[in-house]
């Protein structure tokens, strides 16, 4: 197996340090840190000065606590494992008035951040008045307020301005800036790049910008230097005659006599089928993918390509965010697919 995922730790560090210099980051490290690897991402971000981390998984939150008692951990999904939250000093979202009414006694000793539902309509309080009620009752420790935008990544959508205004109005209504919240956070990578940090906000809650992709394509590529390389080697080349096929159910049929290269990487390693509509790169030259199987990929090549050559699917020229723009899938979708169990992991930089 030659397929490997290389992660550039130096760039990961430099990007985190550069942004943390300008704004306090609440680093989103959910789903194994967008598949960069939770340990690697945590160690690198900590080294870069980041001290606040957010995830959706209690298991990941506990792992983070085991790594350091000097960090703030925010669980973005609600959990009823109150003992675990308390014992590990993990702050959690308060996702609704109903959750509050049901569990306010269990939440003693746990910091919560009130979540505002807004246009994402996934979770959160509907109205400022409900949030006000929780604040006035003083039955739980509210150390933050937050929301998540549904349209920040769509640069031309008018809804972003609406959800932004809803949020800022809600903050005014509950007098957030006078309440000394330890955390006021709303902005993902796209929102932060569009607007800078909002007034009175303590943190930008960033994911993809830390992991080497631009949240939207209008930004310059060096806004987020790429941190992943996905590559493999040609394990064999074959000459096909016109009309001959290769792969299951004639997945590839030679239109003319041609040369193909077989590589040991496939969708089982995390190469999305949509990615296979586009080229790979060998010796700086692009070649089309002819067929994608679970553990193999077939490329149509020329006489410059031979067994053992390195084949790139992602690198500095084949950026994840460029494929996002082409419709392959969201940045996070392409990264989440990468299979850490089958790919050889290499740390570079
Ligand atoms: C609640 C929440 N906040 C922040 C982020 C980070 O978003 P991005 O990766 O666009 O910065 C995510 C990512 O999906 C999220 O779900």
CATH of domain 9-223: 3.20.20.10
Residue nearest to atom 6 of ligand 1 (CA): 207
Q: Is 259 a catalytic residue?
A: no
Confirm or deny that 286 is annotated as ligand binding. Answer: no
Nearest to 64 by CA among 25, 27, 13: 27
Confidence of residue 316 (pLDDT cuts 50, 70, 90): very high
* Class of the domain covering 228-348: mainly beta
Q: What is the pLDDT of residue 349?
A: 86
207 in contact with ligand 1, CB cutoff 6 A: yes
Residue 1 has pLDDT above 80, yes or no: no
Determine the distance from the C-alpha atom of residue 324 to the mean position of all C-alpha atoms in its chain, rounded to a whole number.
13
The proportion of the chain whose per-residue pLDDT surpasses 90, expressed as a percent, equals 99
Q: Is 72 a catalytic residue?
A: no
* Domain ranges within the chain, ordered by starting residue: 9-223, 228-348
Mean pLDDT of 84-112: 98
The proportion of the chain whose per-residue pLDDT surpasses 70, expressed as a percent, equals 100
- Give the residue ranges of DSSP H helices in 70-186: 82-87, 97-103, 128-137, 159-173
Of 10, 108, 127, 248, which is the active-site residue?
Answer: 248
Mutate to test the pocket of ligand 1, among 207, 219, 333, 336 (most ligand atoms within 8 A of CB): 207
Residue 73, token pair as written in the block: 């951990």
Q: How far is the CA of 52 from the centre of ligand 1 (A)?
A: 14
Q: For residues 288 and 256, is the Cβ–Cβ distance under 8 A?
A: no
Which atom number of ligand 1 is nearest to the Cα of residue 208?
Answer: 9
Mean pLDDT of 116-143: 97
Residue 172 has pLDDT above 80, yes or no: yes
Residue nearest to atom 4 of ligand 1 (CA): 188
Mean pLDDT of 116-130: 97
């Amino acid at each position: 197996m030659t397929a490997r995922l290389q992660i550039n730790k130096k760039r990961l560090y430099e990007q985190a340090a550069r942004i943390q210099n300008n704004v306090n980051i609440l680093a989103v490290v959910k789903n194994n840190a967008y598949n960069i690897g939770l340990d690697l991402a945590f160690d690198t971000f900590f080294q870069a000065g980041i001290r606040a981390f957010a995830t959706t998984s209690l298991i990941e939150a506990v792992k983070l606590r085991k790594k350091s008692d000097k960090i703030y951990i925010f669980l973005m999904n609600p959990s009823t494992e109150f003992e675990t939250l308390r014992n590990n000093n993990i702050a959690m979202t308060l996702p609704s008035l109903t959750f509050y009414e049901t569990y306010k006694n269990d939440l003693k000793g746990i910091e919560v951040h009130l979540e505002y539902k807004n246009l994402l309509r996934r979770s959160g309080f509907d109205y400022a008045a409900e949030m006000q009620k929780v604040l006035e009752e003083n039955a739980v420790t509210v150390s933050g307020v937050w929301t998540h935008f549904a349209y920040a990544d769509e640069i031309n959508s008018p809804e972003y301005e609406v959800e932004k205004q809803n949020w800022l109005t809600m903050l005014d209504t509950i007098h957030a800036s006078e309440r000394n919240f330890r955390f006021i956070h709303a902005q993902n990578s796209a929102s932060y790049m569009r607007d800078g940090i909002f007034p009175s906000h303590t943190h930008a809650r960033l994911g993809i910008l830390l992991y080497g992709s631009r949240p939207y394509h209008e930004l310059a590529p060096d806004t987020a230097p790429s941190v992943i390389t996905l590559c493999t080697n040609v394990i064999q080349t074959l000459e096909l005659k016109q009309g001959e096929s290769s792969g299951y159910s004639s997945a590839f049929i030679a239109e003319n006599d041609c040369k193909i290269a077989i590589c040991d990487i496939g969708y089982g390693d995390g190469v999305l089928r949509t990615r296979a509509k586009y080229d790979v790169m060998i010796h700086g030259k692009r070649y089309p993918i002819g067929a994608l199987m679970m553990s193999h990929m077939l490329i149509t090549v020329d006489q410059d390509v031979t067994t053992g050559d390195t084949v790139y699917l992602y690198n500095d020229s084949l950026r994840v965010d460029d494929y996002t723009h082409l419709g392959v899938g969201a940045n996070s979708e392409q990264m989440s697919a990468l299979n850490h169990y089958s790919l050889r992991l290499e740390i570079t930089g």
